[in-house]
Structure 1
Amino acid sequence: MLKKTLIALSATSLMAASAIAQAAEVVNVYSYRQPFLVEPLFADFTKDTGIKVNVVFAKKGLSERLEREGKLSPADLVLTTDISRLMNLVEKDLSQPVKSQSINKDIPVQYRDPDGEWFALTKRVRNIYSTKRTGKPESITYDDLADPKYKGKICTRSGKNAYNVGLVASYVAHNGEKATREWLEGFKENLARRPQGNDRAQVKAIKEGVCDLSIGNSYYYGAMMANDEQRPWAESVYINFPDQKGNGSHVNVSGMVLTKYAPNKDNAVKLMEFLAGDKAQATYAEVNMEYPVNPEVPVSKIVASWGEFKSDDLPVYKLAENYATAQKLLDEVRFDL
Structure 2
Amino acid sequence: MRLKLAVTALAAACALPIQASAAEGEVNIYSYRQAYLLEPLLNAFKEETGIETNVVFAKKGLAERLEREGRNSPADLVMTVDISRLSELVERNLVQSVDNETLEENIPENLRHPDGKWFALTTRGRLIFASKERVEEGEITSYEDLADDKWEDRICTRSGKHPYNIALFSSMIAHHGEEATEEWLEGLKDNLARRPQGGDRDQIKAIHAGECDIAIGNSYYYGNMLNDENQREQAEAVRLVFPNADGRGTHINISGVALTNSAPNRENAIRLMEFLSQPEAQKIYAEANTEYPANPDVKPSGIVAEWGDINPDDLSLQEIADNRDAAVRMVDRVDYDN
After TM superposition, is the score higher than 0.5?
yes
Tell me how far 1:247 sits from its aligned partner.
1.3
Counting aligned pairs with the same residue, the percent is 55
* Partner in structure 2 of residue 63 of structure 1: 63
Structure 1 runs (4+) deviating above 6 angstroms are none
- Report the AA paired with residue 64 of structure 2: E
Alignment partner, residue 31 of structure 1: 31
What per-residue deviation string (whole Å, max 9, x for no partner) do you get for residues 165-191 of structure 1?
Answer: 000000000000001110110000000
How does 1:67-78 map onto structure 2 within 5 Å?
A: 67-78=67-78
Does the aligned pair in 2 maintain the 1:146–1:184 contact within 8 Å?
A: yes
- Offset of residue 137 of structure 1: 2.1
Q: 1:292 to 1:304 in 2, by over 3 A?
A: same
Aligned equivalent of 2:317: 316
Given the alignment of the two structures, is residue 199 of structure 1 paired with residue 200 of structure 2, yes or no? yes
Whether contact under 8 Å (2:23, 2:265) holds in the other structure is: no
Cα deviation, 1:98-157, whole Å, max 9, x if unaligned, reads 011011111011111111111011101000000011322255110111110000000000
Which has the larger Rg? 1
2:22 & 2:70 partners in 1: Cα distance?
Answer: 25
Instruction: Tell me how far apart the structure 2 counterparts of residues 29 and 45 of structure 1 sit (CA, whole Å).
Output: 13
CA contact 1:131–1:213 (8 Å) conserved in 2: yes
Distance 2:286 2:262 in 1: 31
> Higher helix share goes to which structure?
1
Alpha-carbon distance, 1:51 to partner: 0.8
Offset at residue 296 of structure 1 (A): 1.1
Q: 1:266 to 1:40 in 2, by over 3 A?
A: same
Q: How many residue pairs end up in the alignment?
A: 317
**2:301 maps to what in 1?**
300
1:117 equivalent to 2:117? Answer yes
Q: Give the match's secondary structure for 1:130.
A: strand
Distance in structure 1 (CA, Å) of the matches to 2:241 and 2:169: 18
> SS of 1:24's equivalent?
coil
Residue ranges of structure 1 left out of the alignment (5+ in a row): 1-20
Q: In the alignment, is the contact (CA less than 8 A) between 2:110 and 2:317 conserved in 1?
A: yes
What secondary structure sits across from 2:175 in the alignment? helix
For 1:61-100, list aligned pairs within 5 A.
Answer: 61-100=61-100
Partner amino acid, structure 1, of 2:177? G
Q: Secondary structure at the match of 1:186?
A: helix
Distance in 2 between residues matched to 1:209 and 1:173, nearest whole Å: 34
The residue correspondences of 1:159-308 to structure 2 (distance < 5 A) are 159-308=160-309
Deviates more, 1:152-161 or 1:225-234: 225-234
Task: Give the C-alpha shift of residue 22 in structure 1.
Answer: 9.4
What do the CA deviations read for 1:276-297 (whole angstroms, capped 9, x no partner)? 1111100012111100010111
Q: 1:27-76 CA distances to partner (integer Å, 9 max, x unpaired)?
A: 10000011000111111111111110000000100000000000110000
Task: Report the TM-score, using the length of structure 2 for normalisation.
Answer: 0.92
For residues 262 and 107 of structure 2, what CA distance do their matches in structure 1 show?
24
Return the letter of the residue paired with 2:300.
V
Distance 2:93 2:47 in 1: 33
Counterpart code for 2:142 = T
Equivalent residue letter for 2:184: W
Is the contact between residue 139 and residue 244 of structure 1 (CA under 8 Å) also seen in structure 2?
Answer: no
CA RMSD of aligned residues (A): 1.2
Amino acid at match of 1:117: K
Q: Name the TM-score, length of structure 1 as normaliser.
A: 0.92
- Determine the C-alpha separation between the residues in 2 that align with 1:311 and 1:22: 40
Alignment of 1:6-17 (within 5 A): none
> Are positions 1:101 and 2:129 aligned together?
no
Check conservation: 2:22, 2:264, Cα contact below 8 A.
Answer: no
Q: For 2:61 and 2:22, how far apart are their aligned partners in 1? A: 30
Match of 1:332 in 2: 333
Q: Which amino acid aligns with 1:140?
A: T
- What SS class does the counterpart of residue 67 from structure 1 fall into? helix
**1:145 corresponds to 2:149:** no
Name the stretch that deviates more: 279-288 or 75-84.
Answer: 279-288
Partners of 1:319 and 1:253 in 2: how far apart?
12
Quick one: which amino acid aligns to residue 126 of structure 1?
R
Unaligned runs of 5+ in 2: 1-20
